[in-house]
A and B are shown apart, each in its own frame.
Chain A
Amino acid sequence: MFGRLTLDAFKHDAIEMGANYSMIFAVLLAIGLLTYFRVWGRFWREWVISLDPKKIGLMYIFVSFIMLFKGLFDAGMMRAQQAFSVGASHGYLTSDHFQQVFTAHGTTMIFFVGMGILFGVVNLIMPMQIGARDVAFPFLNSLSFYLFVVGAFLVNLSLLVGEFSAAGWVAYPPLSGLQYNPGVGVDYWIWSVQIAGIGSLLSGVNFLVTIFKMRCPGMTLMRMPVFVWASLGAMILVVFAFPILTATLAMLTLDRLIGTHFFTLTGGGNPMMYINLIWAWGHPEVYILILPAFGIFSEVVPIFSRKRLFGYASMVWAIIAIVFLSFVVWLHHFFTMGAGASVNAFFGIMTMLIAVPTGAKIFNWLFTMYEGRVRFETPLLWFLGFVIVFVTGGMTGVMMSIAPVDFQVHNSLYLIAHFHSMVIGGVVFGFFCGFSYWFPKFSGFKLDERLGRYAYYCWMLGFMLAFMPLYVLGLMGATRRLDHYDAETGWQPLFLVALSGIVFIIIGMSFQILQLLVSFRDRKKNADLTGDAWNGRTLEWATPSPPPFYNWPVTPEVYGRDAFWAMKERKTQKPLQYAPIHMPKDTAMGLYIALFAFCVGFGLIWYMFWLAIVGVVGILACLIIRLADHDTTYYVSVKEIEKIEAARLK
């Protein structure tokens, strides 16, 4: 009945129990608050079943924030272990637990923070920037979101029931095979990533179609804001890369579940095949994360320089070049595989080449600032921090693209410092930049400027302290994922510095929470009633803040780049002729399908095969019911639009 799920799965050591209790407490607190304020009904109607991309986007961001805390906590645990686990002392974590922590950290940060932020921001901004009211497939959008939530939930559930994978965030076999990891950990990893990955794939299809098919009149491809171009690039990568992940994880599952020999050491299996496949997905994946961040900077820098973006066409072509090149560099993740000099040379040169369009973008942003009327407000500060950190990380990346150098620093902390420069400096700073920039659009008030600066400086200092020592440690020979080392290595002082960096990052995040609270308190003072908080250039600022669910009463028409800027300069107000608006009806079916997907995942993790069958049948039934429902859209009447618009203008 319960497969291999026994009471032992609930027994954990003190540290894990602490995490569990706080998690259970947080869930109970949330349930309690919803009950106390009697908002279950509103929560269900306005959020859970909503197909509005703005609401789905906000929910993505909310879940990503929670997962960011979890991932950051994991990082702190690792650094705390490494700072003190020297010589005779073995730290406070067991090796096995330490391995689970670094696996969970990577998995959480890439799949449930990075991807969540990406889809959140694209959901929030992209439809408005192309003058659309919705995405192409609103129901699919909701389904993608709930699959993402189920994936995130499985990662957290592994703390409570069983264990998480100890095989690293990309789960290289044979370590992740049944022989070396017979427990449920790797299965938790597989199913959380698989379910969330399928959600991402569906989102990719959805947004790709949205951008190609749902632009408002006049919004030609070369008039699209660069953020939309960047999203388009990222979605093309999602559509091309995620199927590889799905197939690879499926093969790993079969190896573990029914005894196939894809990646095993016996039976003629080939573990290197897995490593090739996972990076054929994995390298495009990092560009999936960074491209939207590039898009955010391309929106923010012109606004805070009061100039149009320098080199629009070159920005677009740089994105296209990156999309193409990102599929021919995957082997640089394992030069040490021994593919031979010419193969390594090819991938090394391609890796150096991909730095060229990226560099062109950096120069374009700097040229945008040149001779502009630059306002050094929080969003621009994040951009400047990004330039410093990202260029450092980029240059160390180009160094590692030289295969002989890579042989020296492969799997060392040098690599860790490099890719954290890219992911924190690029993706995270980019997101914070976009967060402070677009926050007024969805709340109607600006964030507190002073606390935003404090947060920025703490993050910047924290980042430097946490990761610059890792470059040095890497060159001194410290490999990644160490839970213990000898005192005579002389590494401890640098690990202590790295730990202090985490403290500053935590202070930075505390300032951000404080900033949210203070800004909410002062929301009347910082209110933005125009809908155009920063003198914006793109269409999202042409709607009120927060925008009505249909975005615009009348679909805008576009006559050039920087559509809203042109509208403001022309100052011609067309008389508004309302027409009924066609909108999708809300539905909870996405949630139900995701719950059945959870049954499939949980059932296969614990060998409760009946539960997995229930899940599959449930998913099929839900799909058939949804297909049979022909009444999925409705019209907003002119009367209602007039009412909503009148209430807003009052």
Chain B
Amino acid sequence: MRHDPHAEADSLTIFGFWVYLMTDCLLFGSLFATYMVLHNSTHGGPTSKELFSMPFVLVETLALLTSSFTCGLATRAASLNQKKQLFFWFVATFLLGALFLGMELHEFHDFIKEGNSWERSAFLSAFFTLVGTHGLHISIGLLWMIVLLVPVMRHGVTPLSMRRLTCFGLFWHFLDIVWIFIFTIVYLMGVS
């Protein structure tokens, strides 16, 4: 039996990455639980209903969902070893992710400008922490994309970079799913 280090590393790393994503899922779970407990503790500050602007958040959401789609296309291009398409879809994913992050920061900025920062009430503390943690993950994802893309452009798709692209894809889709929960629990249920 000849030993194949790449197949073995693939199976270990991707399974390991799934397990890591589950831990991250629980981290978000704790923040969601806290948010739901503190949702009505507005302490005289604005409620979620008064605060959220749904059209804005919808555009933000669509940007992120589309980036997940382009990320899927990038992974497909990588597995077909189409460097040009890979680059194109990757850049599209990056730009959509950056747009999402920019819109989120803009929303935060607006809230803070009106005096509704995380210091205002327990509800806003929980809101900023939950949504901000997701935003932090997105930022790490953007940085990761740059780090991934440089060696791919230089050396083409190797087994190693394919494995890392797969992990990145899992990460990005995972953030998408978390955002769907944020969109539902924080925004949709918040304004209903």
Residues of chain A touching chain B, judged by Cβ–Cβ distance below 8 Å, are 136-137, 201, 204-206, 208-209, 212-214, 239-240, 242-244, 246-248, 250-251, 254-255, 258-262, 264, 266-270, 273, 277, 280, 579-580, 582, 620, 624, 627-628, 630, 633
Contacts and interface: CB of A to CB of B under 8 A. Distances in A.
A242 B129 CA distance: 18
Given A239-B19, A260-B118, A261-B43, 12 more contacts: A244-B30, A251-B34, A254-B125, A260-B119, A262-B38, A269-B38, A269-B122, A270-B41, A277-B30, A280-B30, A620-B143, A628-B151
A243 B23 contact: yes
Contacts of B54: none
B95 interface: no
Nearest to B20: A205
A582 B27 contact: no
A213 B12 contact: yes
B125 A209 contact: no
Contact of A243 (B15, B27, B129): B27
Contacts of B121: 261, 267-268
Given A201-B23, A251-B129, A261-B121, A209 B43 contact: no
A94 B89 CA distance: 65
A136 B43 contact: no
Which of B12, B128, B160 has the most chain A CB within a 10 Å cutoff? B12
B115 interface: no
A266 B129 CA distance: 18
A137 B34 CA distance: 33
A403 B34 CA distance: 26
B128 A260 contact: yes
B15 A209 contact: yes
Nearest to B27: A243
B122 A270 contact: yes
A201 B15 CA distance: 16
B159 to A, nearest CB: 11
A240 B29 CA distance: 11
Interface of B: 3, 5, 11-13, 15-16, 19-20, 22-27, 29-31, 33-34, 37-38, 41-43, 118-123, 125-126, 128-129, 143, 147, 151, 160, 164
A277 B34 contact: yes
A238 B12 CA distance: 19
Nearest to A137: B16
28 contacts: A201-B23, A205-B19, A209-B15, A214-B12, A239-B22, A243-B24, A243-B27, A243-B30, A244-B26, A244-B29, A247-B31, A254-B125, A258-B118, A260-B122, A260-B129, A261-B121, A261-B122, A262-B34, A262-B125, A268-B121, A269-B38, A269-B122, A270-B41, A273-B34, A280-B30, A579-B3, A582-B3, A627-B164
